[in-house]
Amino acid sequence: MLEPVRLAVDDALKGRARRQAAGRALPDHVRFDLPHDATDRTVVEAVVDAAKAQGWRRIAVEDPVTGKLSYRKLWSAPASSPTSSCR
């Protein structure tokens, strides 16, 4: 897992225009050059390890539209989603 990066987005932009500008800035920070075998664990394993290290109640992800999710809510969200096909 990589460290979070703050995107440079014009403070004058609001709402949808701001989100679109952030979306356009994102590819500049995505690491495409990582080798596919750079780690020996899956994303799920990395999230569980992070939750154990940081605490299950700590904020794991934040979305400007849907808000914040703790590791605990992130872990349980797919199972409780009405569109979940994992049932």
pLDDT in tens, 30-83: 766 555 555 678 888 888 999 999 999 999 988 888 889 999 998 887 665 555
Q: Given pLDDT bands bounded at 50, 70 and 90, which one contains residue 25?
A: confident
CA count, 13 A, side-chain hemisphere, 55? 3
CB atoms < 10 A from the CB of 71, how many? 21
DSSP state of 57: T
Q: Given pLDDT bands bounded at 50, 70 and 90, which one contains residue 28?
A: confident
Q: 70 forms bridges with which residues in the sheet? A: 59
Q: Quick check: 78 and 84 in contact, CB under 8 A? A: yes
More reliable by pLDDT, 8 or 38? 8
Angle at 14 between CA 13 and CA 18, to 5 degrees: 65
Q: Given pLDDT bands bounded at 50, 70 and 90, which one contains residue 87?
A: very low
